[in-house]
Amino acid sequence: MQFQELQLNKPILKAITEKGYDTPTPVQEKAIPLILTKKDLITSAQTGTGKTAAFALPILQLLFDKQDAPKKGKKTRSLIISPTRELAIQIDENFKTYGKYTNLRSTVVFGGASIEPQIEILKKGIDILVATPGRLLDLHKQDVINLDYVETLVLDEADLMLDMGFIDNVKKIERLCPKEKQTLLFSATIPYKITQLASTILKEPQKVAITPTSAAAKNVQQLLYYTPKPKKIELCLHLLRNTIKGDIIIFRRTKYGVDKLEKVLLRNKYKAVSIHGDKSQNARQEALNSFKRKDVNILIATDVAARGIDIDDVDAVINFDLPNVPETYVHRIGRTGRAGKLGTAYSFCSADEKNYVISIQKLTHKLIDVEEEHPYPLDPKAKPEVHKKKGSKYKKGRKSEASKKKKKRWY
């Protein structure tokens, strides 16, 4: 299928052609026709599947088709709620890119930045508003935003909004919008609480599921390093010196851990930047831009700060701290090995994280190759003691050059 077959108008097709888009991704192919029929939609799709365009393109189409209708000035007719500032900015940039040949106006509002410039833009009138929940409610309390004319409400990264404690704010925002509206919910995972939310705010929604969360990226070689927690920094430096090259994202569980690792890498003359929730918006955006411009080749981040950010051509991901939620592991490693390219995910596991490995392999139905040839091994007694049994449901992964060495597998 080509984009021309999705009944998008010429101005939008011209813009996406200039971006080099020819063939829609699976989520775009399935979601765009449903959204154009103004049906409510609940979509499960991971980061990197093209889901922003899946809702942005049909929203632009629907708004463009009604531009000739009489209207009393520009009213906010589409509202997109995003959990993080970085993702909100990225979504707004996409709307501006896809809608460059229309007269539709979009803007983004978020906390951590001066509210006055945002108020001035809103007073001029916009068609599409991208917002984080807290700043949107603040602006509404000041009577700066009127949501009475919203025709389409998008909840993006709904599971992350749940994790960040935004669901009550999301419910408030939904009630401020008209009852008769189209609601689109996008989420990487669909836990029970998201299902509950969808049942209360969506009306007979259509469902689209792309790439089940349990399916780890096919083009990503996964390697597991058992190592004592105090030796993780030494192992990271060893791999950066001898093995891992190119553009790298390193995930840590805490803000303190991100800052600590950044200081170590900078002292060792690596070009690294970091993002986490305690940094100012300007600092976070500049760090991302420097990584995208390839001024630096290492980005250290927490999951919340990095979720949903679209960064192309990442050569490797390092799970410095393993996530306690197995789906998060899949999201992390999916940031490399995109667009048919190969990538590698390196995961460090200390003794207290061994149960996380078990959960990840149960979710993905795949054993992670254990790399034992490194200078900071974990005491074998501290590794998981359950060995692969005959008839195991876990599938053997694709063998890499590294995995041809003799290894034990643990889960």
- The domain limits of the chain are 3-209, 220-404
pLDDT tens-digit map of 115-171: 999 999 999 899 999 999 999 999 999 999 999 999 999 999 998 888 788 899 999
Strand, coil or helix: 333: helix
- Token pair of 327 as six digits: 């789906």
Same fold, 3-209 and 220-404: yes
Residues of the chain with pLDDT under 50: 69-72, 386-411
What's the confidence (pLDDT) of residue 190? 83
CATH level 2 (architecture), domain 3-209: 3-Layer(aba) Sandwich (3.40)
For 155, 228, 265, 349, 376, the CA distances from 352, given in Å and listed in that order, are 36, 9, 25, 8, 16
Write the CB contacts of 40 (distance below 8 Å, at least 6 apart in sequence): 182, 183, 184, 202, 203, 204, 205, 206
What's the confidence (pLDDT) of residue 311? 77
Strand, coil or helix: 11: helix
What's the confidence (pLDDT) of residue 306? 64
- β-bridge partners, 244: none
pLDDT tens-digit map of 319-350: 999 998 887 888 888 888 876 688 999 999 99
What CATH number does the domain located at 220-404 have?
A: 3.40.50.300
What's the confidence (pLDDT) of residue 216? 64
pTM of the entire structure? Answer: 0.71
Q: How many residues does the chain have?
A: 411
